[in-house]
Amino acid sequence: MTTAVGDVAATDVDTHCPYCALQCGMTLRVGSGALPEVVERAFPVNRGALCGKGRTSAEVLSGAVRLSEPLVRDADGQLRAASWQEALDRVAEGLLRARARHGRDAVAVFGGGGLTNEKAYALGKFARVALRTSQIDYNGRFCMSSAAMAQNRAFGLDRGLPFPLADVARTGCVILVGSNLADTMPPALRWLTELKENGGTLIVVDPRRTRTAEQADLHLQPRPGTDLALALGLLHLVVTEGRLDEEFIASRTSGWEETLPGVMAHWPELVERITGVPVPQLRRAVAMFCDAPESIVLTARGPEQQSKGTDTVGAWINLCLATGRAGRPLSGYGCLTGQGNGQGGREHGQKADQLPGYRKLDDPAARAYVAGVWGVDPQDLPGPGRSAYELLDALGRDIKALLVMGSNPVVSAPRAGHVTERLAALDFLAVCDVVLSETAQLADVVLPVTQWAEETGTTTNLEGRVILRRKAIDPPAGVRSDLEVISGLAARLGWENSFPADPEEVFTELRQASAGGPADYSGITYDRIAASDGVFWPCPAPETEPGSDTATGAGPGTEPAAGAETAEDGTPRLFLQRFATPDGRARFAPVEHRPAAEEPSAEYPYYLTTGRVLAQYQSGAQTRRVRELNDAAPGPFVQLHPRLAEKLGVADGDRLAVTSRRGRAVAPARVSAAIRPDTVFMPFHWPGEGRANTLTNPALDPASRMPEFKVCAVRVERA
């Protein structure tokens, strides 16, 4: 659409924000200015509202803050400008050399939850076909892998929200566990505000009294790492107060008898001792949740980023199942995905154990089907590889060469000092990024790639809504897309015609590869997305559509009998008649509370928990380059309770040293009664001496392989 702006004709391009998993709708107005103007537009998720990050997102397109030509490291150790020919040749040589000397699994790929579906698909295919390595994972493993595992176990299918976000405003009660939406997804807060305006109630579970918790009718403030005990305690009260939905349990679930003993072992007084949440608050929470005609539980990184995150989420799902709050309109469990395309990123092949369409890599039928789409022998596809942290921990040991695309693990990985050392120990490191991130600074080759406004591609938001980001402007002359990088590298590895660089061509192949799988995109096209507000998966292709004869390797529950509400926009609501398990029943998870991997001790007497702030995003690689955002959040800090501050003799702004068994971080004190006296909080967006992830514990959930970002033991002292 062309719009007159003053005397200049401007072109309006409808697209989406490049940051979190809301994927808010916006319009880019491209005129005579150096950068496009961000304009609000109506879209179901955000209804036109944008946070500061979205409003300023065009500033990262500026040539002043970004890479504009490839860089290679010379013999003197310095990065210098290079041609694309030289840079891609160097990357191909580095990968091939490591493979020739040490075997295929000596080469690894580390992706990102911000990559489009097309890029995620192509990167997974590149690793398994062109490199033939099993060593691929992505930073989305650090996002919602525990919730994904718990949902797969309970429902047979993992989609962040099995209902549109707007349903949150129409239910009767929401329990929000470990999420500070006011800072992490501000436009989503409107749905909680509307919930209360409609007469509903909000319960927030968080060790900190955040801006979101201040909106709650009830704030439960447990010790870090005790969310599992809290969920078990609430379900215990459901049982003893006679609030079970026995008809739903009998007709639509399995495993309740095996689950009940663990529930009954967590009586209210015990749960109060474990969590610090008083019994009267537990009883009030149960009454609010069960007395409402419909209720929803939403979890985020708080309960998930734990060494028992899968069981913790499973316990909250159990609460929904036992009360009949699942598989019904306006009731259920959902996960608030964090990264922009964290959902789509794992659905189509970046995750170590998955093939496109959310197929399992160790499923012979799935391997045979996808190999057929790719034109390779199923026997040539590698098996499952290491999870994200385990892959990073193996760098310089089993893994000799690494390609990073869209991630900054120097800042974002747990035990980040150790991960930085492992990156430095590699024989070869290549990084694709839009800026010279802290990880890119260690690379042998840095490849500058296009950004969201300079390319077209799809992402999948937290609702499972597949949306289309449209190209609005041309990239700088020295910049190429990630798809062009993959295509160029594949050609150098002998796969010249197998990796197209056109995003719609890649998406067409993705549709075919996903067809019949749990995350079936075969019926989604760019045109269909453009004609709607996005299309929810699963969305199988009509039988008459080319490439729809794809039942081989299909996952359970993706056919209409899965209980989905189907529409022109795909499948907005799942599980309404049956769950996506072989027998159609949801499965309870028999779980019991266990301590965090690391509890406070005499040497390390306090809990550390980490998270985000409003003005920064993830590792901060992009947002730290926007002046307005830096003015609002210029650096790290340590939030601590006034009682702890008095004990340490510190005041606001004093430098504090926080030390764990893995390292030491230093940042200014921020004294606040909004946090528990036994806990300190640090945001994780910054490198350097204030890097929070220097401290965090890489202890892994045994099922999801999620590191325990949210709780570790520290000591705190004046720096």
Query: Quick one: which of 552, 130, 111 has its CA closest to 374?
Result: 130
Residue 476 DSSP SS3: coil
| Total-model pTM | 0.94
Kind plus residue range of the DSSP H or E element containing 460: strand 457-460
Query: Quick one: which of 70, 50, 53, 133 has its CA closest to 98?
Result: 133
φ and ψ at 653, to 5 degrees? 90, -15
Query: Quick one: which of 138, 603, 195 has its CA closest to 388?
Result: 138
- Which tokens go with 376? 């390779």
Helices (H) and strands (E) counted in the chain, each on its own, are: 23, 33
- Reported as half-sphere exposure (CB side, CA atoms, 13 A), residue 514 has a value of 33
Query: What's the pLDDT tens digit per position in 76-92?
Result: 999 999 999 999 999 99
Query: What's the pLDDT tens digit per position in 52-74?
Result: 999 999 999 999 999 999 999 99
CATH class of the 606-718 domain in this structure: mainly beta
What's the CA gap between 233 and 304, in Å, rounded? 18
Question: What is the dihedral angle through the alpha carbons of 132, 138, 140, 145, rounded to the nearest 10 degrees?
Answer: 60
Kind plus residue range of the DSSP H or E element containing 93: helix 84-102
Query: Quick one: which of 23, 26, 4, 24 has its CA closest to 13?
Result: 26
Predicted confidence at residue 461, as pLDDT, reads 97
- C-alpha R_g of the chain: 24
Q: What is the DSSP string of 167-187?
A: GGGGSSEEEEES--HHHHSGG
What's the CA gap between 589 and 71, in Å, rounded? 50
What's the CA gap between 681 and 208, in Å, rounded? 9
Exposure letters 573-598 (e unless 16+ CB within 10 A, then b): bbbbebbbbeebbbbbbbbebeebbb
Query: Quick one: which of 89, 93, 90, 111 has its CA closest to 101?
Result: 93
Residue 698 DSSP SS3: strand
Query: What's the pLDDT tens digit per position in 539-565?
Result: 999 863 433 333 333 333 333 334 444
Predicted confidence at residue 227, as pLDDT, reads 97
Predicted confidence at residue 150, as pLDDT, reads 98
Domain boundaries, the chain: 2-61, 71-142+341-573, 161-336, 606-718
Alpha carbon distances (Å) from 293 to 28, 289, 328: 42, 9, 11
- Please check whether the domain covering 2-61 is classified as CATH 2.40.160: no
| Cβ neighbours around 346 below 10 Å, total | 30
CATH topology classification for 161-336? Dimethylsulfoxide Reductase; domain 2 (3.40.228)
Distance of CA 625 to the CA centre of its chain: 22
For 201-321, where are the E strands, in sequence order? 201-205, 218-220, 253-254, 295-299
What's the CA gap between 107 and 114, in Å, rounded? 22
Q: Are 81 and 71 in contact (CB under 8 A)?
A: yes
Strands 655-660 and 663-671: antiparallel
Residue 705 DSSP SS3: coil
Predicted confidence at residue 33, as pLDDT, reads 80
Q: Are 517 and 358 in contact (CB under 8 A)?
A: yes
What's the CA gap between 237 and 176, in Å, rounded? 19
What's the CA gap between 544 and 549, in Å, rounded? 9
Could you give the angle at which helices 84-102 and 482-492 cross, rounded to 10 degrees? 50
- Residue 418 makes CB contacts below 8 A (sequence gap 6+) with 393, 662, 698
Q: Are 381 and 371 in contact (CB under 8 A)?
A: yes
| Cβ neighbours around 709 below 10 Å, total | 28
Predicted confidence at residue 567, as pLDDT, reads 63
CATH topology classification for 71-142+341-573? Rossmann fold (3.40.50)
Predicted confidence at residue 561, as pLDDT, reads 32
- Regions in the chain scoring below 50 on pLDDT: 4-7, 544-566
